[in-house]
């Protein structure tokens, strides 16, 4: 069900992108938008992992420095029957984590220094299992494609607003079309953001469930999520809006009105679902 929902939402994002390209330049604009989307997704597919790791100055974590982390990742990877991902650390005190990489063979799990130091054994295991589930389900690739398409729609919408403003005063006959173009330029990016959020939220629920199945201990991740939320308010993570969807808990919670449109489901709901699994 989650997979079908994701396919439909990605199709909707592509449709909006093509439609707004068509409005901006007719059939030629639609073809240009399609080519632009293909190019952006190609770049995202091959280079998004390197870009995000560099953005957070993440470096490979030596096994001698964190043997328990390596033991957990190795055990869970073998259990999930996937290649063991590379393990990176980024030097931030705020506890958080993300996975990246285009497929399980090229996957990376990145942990903040804070999460390694502050999480208990079962909590950290739950977090790692959550990120491994993202790898198994290729969520990192899906999220990157969704973010790329949404960003492109926002860019086109911005350009269309300027085009509409400049064209608006030229003649009265064209004003209706210009107003329609301006309206679409405002609504399309909003719709794209909402769709991207819906994709991200559905994948987070699935990764939580996958963590519970891998560890046979939903309470470990439930406890970790509560702890991560509390710490993130005390120790805000230095993160960007463009990459917030990658993290296990939103690094932007409480920072601005943008948190009302979070890419993550409410922590209370995630914890409640996990604890319901424990009772079944």
DSSP 108: E
Average pLDDT over residues 127-141: 90
pLDDT at 201: 82
Mean pLDDT over 65-93 rounds to: 96
221 or 241: whose pLDDT is higher? 221
Given a cut of 50, is residue 257 above it in pLDDT?
Answer: no
CB 150 within 8 A of CB 190: no
Cα→Cα distances 115→92, 93, 237, Å: 9, 8, 12
Kindly list the strands in the beta sheet with 59-60, ordered across the sheet, starting from the edge strand earlier in the chain.
59-60, 86-90, 108-112, 97-100
Residue with the larger pLDDT of the pair 144 and 265: 265
Confidence of residue 111 (pLDDT cuts 50, 70, 90): very high
End-to-end CA distance of the chain: 21
pLDDT at 256 (0 to 100): 46
Are 113 and 173 in contact by the 8 Å Cβ rule? The answer is no
What's the structural domain count of the chain? 1
Look at 15-24, 92-101, 125-134, 199-208 and tell me which has the smallest mean pLDDT.
Answer: 15-24
What is the average pLDDT across 114-140? 94
Q: What is the Cα–Cα distance from 226 to 229, expressed in whole angstroms?
A: 5
pLDDT tens-digit readout, 234-245: 888 988 777 888
Confidence of residue 255 (pLDDT cuts 50, 70, 90): very low
pLDDT at residue 130 above 90? yes
For 235, which DSSP code? S
Is-contact 182 165, C-beta < 8 A?
yes
Tens-place pLDDT, residues 159-195: 665 555 455 544 544 444 556 666 666 666 666 666 7
Query: What integer best gives the mean pLDDT of the chain?
Result: 80
Percentage of residues in the chain having pLDDT higher than 70: 62
Active site residue 121: no
Are 231 and 95 a contacting pair, CB within 8 Å?
A: yes
Task: For residue range 57-76, list pLDDT tens digits in order.
Answer: 999 999 999 999 999 999 99
Which one of the listed residues 123, 131, 204, 269 is annotated catalytic? 131
d(CA 240, CA 243): 6
- In this prediction the pTM is 0.77
Domain that holds residue 75: 2-279
Mean pLDDT of 134-152: 74
Which DSSP letter does residue 238 get? Answer: -
Rank 1-15, 42-56, 252-266 by mean pLDDT and report only the highest: 42-56
> Residue 22: is its pLDDT beyond 70?
no
Query: What number is the average pLDDT over the span 86-96?
Result: 96
**What confidence tier does 252 reach under pLDDT thresholds 50, 70, 90?**
confident
- Judged by DSSP in three states, 254 sits in coil
Residue 260 has pLDDT above 50, yes or no: no
């Amino acid at each position: 069900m989650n997979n079908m929902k994701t396919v439909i939402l990605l199709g909707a994002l592509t449709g909006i992108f093509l439609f707004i390209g068509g409005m901006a330049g007719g059939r030629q604009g639609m073809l240009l938008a399609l080519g632009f989307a293909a190019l952006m997704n190609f770049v995202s597919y091959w280079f998004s992992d390197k870009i995000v790791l560099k953005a957070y100055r993440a470096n490979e974590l030596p096994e001698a420095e964190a043997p328990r982390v390596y033991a957990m990742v190795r055990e869970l990877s073998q259990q999930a029957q996937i290649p063991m991902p590379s393990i990176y650390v980024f030097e931030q005190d705020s506890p958080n984590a993300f996975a990246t990489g285009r497929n399980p063979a090229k996957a990376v799990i990145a942990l903040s220094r804070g999460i390694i130091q502050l999480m208990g054994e079962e909590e950290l295991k739950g977090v790692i299992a959550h990120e491994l589930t993202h790898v198994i389900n290729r969520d990192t690739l899906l999220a990157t494609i969704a973010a790329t398409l949404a960003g492109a729609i926002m860019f086109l919408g911005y350009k269309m607003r300027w085009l509409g403003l400049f064209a608006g005063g030229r003649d009265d006959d064209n004003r209706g079309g210009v107003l329609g173009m301006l309206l679409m330029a405002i609504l399309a990016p909003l719709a794209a953001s909402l769709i991207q959020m819906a994709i991200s939220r559905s994948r987070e629920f699935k990764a939580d469930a996958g963590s519970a199945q891998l560890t046979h201990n939903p309470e470990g991740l439930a406890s970790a999520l509560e702890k991560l939320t509390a710490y993130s308010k005390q120790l805000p993570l230095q993160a960007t809006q463009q990459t917030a969807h990658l993290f296990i808990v939103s690094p932007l919670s409480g920072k601005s009105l943008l948190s009302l449109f979070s890419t993550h489901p409410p922590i209370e709901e995630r914890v409640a679902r996990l604890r319901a699994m424990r009772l079944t």
